[in-house]
Amino acid sequence: MLAALRSRKSAPQGDRLNFTRSMAADLARAYNIEDLRRLARRRLPRMVFDYYDGGAEDELSLQGNRAAFERLRFAPKVLRDVSRVSTGCEILGAAANLPLVIAPTGGAGFSWPGGDVALARAANAFGIPCTLSTATTATVEHIAEQAGGRLWFQLYVLYDRDYTAKLVARAAAAGCEALVITADLATGGKRERDFRNHFEVPFRLGLTHILQACTKLHWSWNVVTRGVPAFENLRGLVPPGKASADAIASSVGRDIDASLSFEDVARLRDTWKGKLIVKGVARADDAERLIRTGVDGLWLSNHGGRQLDGAAAPIDLLPSVAAAVGGRVPIVLDSGVWRGSDAVKACALGAQAVAIGSATLFGVAAAGEPGARRALAILTDELVRTMQLCGAASIGEITSDLIAS
């Protein structure tokens, strides 16, 4: 099947037009993020969908992240003037249109050509920051040139510290305003869906994958005509050849320096001139120590349930961490953010913004940049509705008393 596709110079114009019309109609009928997830599942081979959708081991944390948000209930205020609602806010010292940040999601190009650029462009269009993963399928320079906007760079500190230093320098030269150090990846999580699918990075197509691809012709066409995506920022780091069994689905994890420490964060603070955030924080004592180290922000995360299975949901940890921080630095929170109302809950409990990963990633997987924009439009609509129904006309009016005790 793939060989036959390769022999053709281009897809028929009519087929492309029909696909575009169908995609637009599907997006118009996507009323929530779960609808976009279903569209992505319909379009992608199982191996790629599961790579995006899955969590570690029994996926307890993956499921628990959503359950934690769903347990929270509002105590709405009434008889407030919410005829006009402002979602404008400050994120990390600069104005934003929404209390949202696009989280780093590696391998967006596995689902759609130029997926990483699509995410950044959508973020720029909505006036929010976009965090570029170390493991993007386009270079940081290319994304910055093509998308613009407020870009943050998420950093995996690698065994090869010279390579790591070069990544930091490249992010600075590309104009990234913030460096986001991932601290919760001492080793790759055990993502069992990916083991079962024999999904590995560098991306390889085996017989099982080709059979899956036979039913996903549009995805297959893009792979054949555009080539197999790769982690462009990491070219030259991973040696060629067959990945070992423990590298399947955790190829970035095998290159992470497990000795990463507070002292390393302090050294990066000395060299990085922009804003510095540490991602993966879960404890008040770690937050306190990081503040003393000089970070500009804290990012509560359990990596979306993809690393330590059984890790607590960040939204459950937020009140204690926010109390310890006392407003000295802003807090961003991810993991399980699926609705605009989740942003209201997080802001009420002390976060400055929430970071969304799966929501916009599924949007891209469903329809490229229009899909990412649709995801952000859905979340924006839900955010505004929730604020109106809770009696909050601005982000500043989202206070802790809106959460039922």
Give pLDDT tens digits for 157-211.
999 999 999 999 999 999 999 999 999 999 989 999 999 988 876 666 666 666 6
Mean pLDDT of the chain: 90
Task: Determine the structural domain holding residue 120 and report its residue range.
Answer: 33-74+91-382
* In the predicted structure, residue 313 carries a pLDDT above the cut 60: yes
Percent of the chain past pLDDT 70, that is, above it, reads 87
Running DSSP on this structure, what letter comes out for residue 296?
S
pLDDT at 222: 75
**End-to-end distance of the chain based on CA atoms, in angstroms?**
58
- Domain assignment present for residue 391? The answer is no
Chain centroid to CA 155: how far?
13
> How high is the pLDDT of residue 50?
95
- Asked whether the predicted pLDDT for residue 254 surpasses 60, the reply is yes
**Given a cut of 80, is residue 16 above it in pLDDT?**
no
Q: What is the pLDDT of residues 52-106, one digit of tens each?
A: 999 999 999 999 999 999 999 999 999 999 999 999 999 999 999 999 999 999 8
Q: Is residue 122 part of a domain?
A: yes
Note the pLDDT of residue 129: 98
Site of tokens 């994304």: 143
Q: Measure Cα distances from 303 to 61, 72, 138, 273, 308 in Å.
A: 9, 21, 22, 26, 8
Residues paired with 181 in a beta bridge? 155, 278
In tens, the pLDDT along 208-237 reads 666 666 667 677 777 767 777 888 998 888
Q: Which helix (H) or strand (E) holds 130?
A: strand 130-132
Query: What pLDDT was estimated at residue 18?
Result: 65
pLDDT at site 101: 98
CATH, residue 67: 3.20.20.70
Strand residue runs (E) in 220-292: 275-281
pTM above 0.75, yes or no: yes
Task: Give phi and psi for 245, each to the nearest 5.
Answer: -60, -40
- pLDDT score, position 210: 66
The count of structural domains within the chain is: 1
Least confident segment among 18-32, 264-278, 385-399 = 18-32
Alpha-carbon distance of 92 to 177, in angstroms, equals: 10
Given a cut of 50, whether residue 7 has pLDDT beyond it is no
Q: H or E element: which one contains 117? A: helix 115-126
Q: Give how far Cα 401 sits from Cα of 73, 74, 110, 332, 366, Å.
A: 11, 9, 43, 20, 38
User: ω into residue 104 within 30 of 0, thus cis?
Assistant: no
Domain-embedded: residue 226? yes
**Residues annotated catalytic, as ranges:** 303
Residue 257, pLDDT > 70, answer yes
Q: How far apart are CA 113 and CA 364, in angstroms?
A: 9
Q: How confident is the model at residue 20 (pLDDT cuts 50, 70, 90)?
A: confident
With respect to residue 24, please indicate whether it lies within any of the assigned structural domains: no
Question: Looking up tokens 């003037």, which residue turns up?
Answer: 81
In this predicted structure, what is the pLDDT of residue 17?
A: 63
- Give me the pLDDT at residue 14, please: 58
> What CA–CA distance (Å, rounded) separates 187 from 209?
26
From CA 205, how far away is CA 249, in angstroms rounded? 14
Across residues 354-376, what is the average pLDDT? 97
pLDDT of residue 200: 75
Which region, left, alpha or beta, applies to residue 206 given φ > 0 means left and ψ of -120 to 50 means alpha?
beta
Residue 366 scores a pLDDT above 90: yes
Yes or no: say if 98 and 340 are a contact pair by the CB < 8 Å rule: no
Is position 395 within any domain? no
Let me know if residue 82 belongs to a domain: no
Beta carbons within 10 angstroms of residue 261's beta carbon = 11
Which pLDDT does position 8 carry in this prediction? Answer: 44
Q: How far apart (Å, rounded) are the C-alpha atoms in residues 97 and 90?
A: 8
Look at residue 248 in the predicted model and tell me its pLDDT: 38
Q: What pLDDT sits at residue 249?
A: 42
190 found inside a domain: yes
- Residue matched to tokens 């469903």: 366
CA separation for the pair 184, 303 (Å, rounded) = 7
Determine the pLDDT at residue 230. 85
Would you tell me how many other CB atoms lie within 10 Å of the CB of residue 233? 27
Is residue 299 domain-resident?
yes
Please count the other Cβ atoms lying within 10 Å of the Cβ belonging to residue 266: 14
